Amino acid sequence: MIAALLIGRKGSTGLPGKNVMPVLGRPLAAYPFLAARHARHVDAVYISTDDERLMALGREYGAETIVRPPELCTKAALGEHAYLHAYGVIREREAARGREVEMLALLMCNAPTVLAATIDQGVEALRADPALDSAVTVSSYNMWSPLRARRETAQGLLEPFVPFEAFGDPATLNCDRDSQGDVWFADMGLSLVRTRCLDHLEQGLLPQKWMGQKIHPLKQWGGCDIDYDWQVPGVEFWLRRHGFSETETPYAAAPTA
């Protein structure tokens, strides 16, 4: 069976209450819930959180609650720790029902740029190629190429974050943002992973070790997880372009709120 798992905590300091903030008239977390609920291949939906508001929202969408332990609700706790804890709970619950977990659709309550069809696309890609560890939504942001990245020195000046030699002969480099080819970033909309990725988390590639080693890209545009208020208009633009409005969704018979 395939389980969708959302994570979100209530203690955000960068944008307090972001997981339930209204976006096109719905709580932000409603969008990954909608995607999970309407994906053909998803058999169960879970929410791992310490936020009573997210627990209530999850119940509206038929999700089971996993109470996130206090030690995983701090700013220092990593997403991989929350995923690993919840995976253990899901595995036990599903085993009690006589079901074995094949894959997990890992979602974030503050990452609304995901569709049910994308989850299904990822499942079909992994089932077609057993060598793949995961299928992950990515967006191309060439303007943020590592070639352009800078950091501040102790003298208050800017220097390359990565030495130019890492990209080849510096004489061949230029300022064109597309000169290095497309730069794909995991946009946190979806990480569809086989359970072996979590069983052997230490073997996964940084920075998101839960994705394993062999990662299949699910290419889209404009994906992101919201951490700052300036990102909200871009997300609303993405949602409208994908069939959402204040009263409609792209899903048949989907709730409007």
Residues 119 and 193 both lie in one domain: yes
The fraction of the chain above a pLDDT of 70, given in percent, is 98
Question: 223-239 pLDDT, tens per residue?
Answer: 999 999 999 999 999 99
pLDDT at 253 (0 to 100): 54
Indicate if the pLDDT at residue 245 is higher than 80. Answer: yes
Report which of 15, 13, 8, 24 is spatially closest to residue 248, judged by C-alpha positions: 24
Residues 112 and 226 both lie in one domain: yes
Domain count, the chain: 2
Question: 169-191 pLDDT, tens per residue?
Answer: 888 888 888 888 899 999 999 99
Question: 21-69 pLDDT, tens per residue?
Answer: 999 999 999 999 999 999 999 999 999 999 999 999 999 999 999 999 9
Q: Which domain holds residue 150?
A: 142-182
Residues 116 and 165 both lie in one domain: no
Please indicate, yes or no, whether the overall pTM of this predicted structure exceeds 0.85.
yes
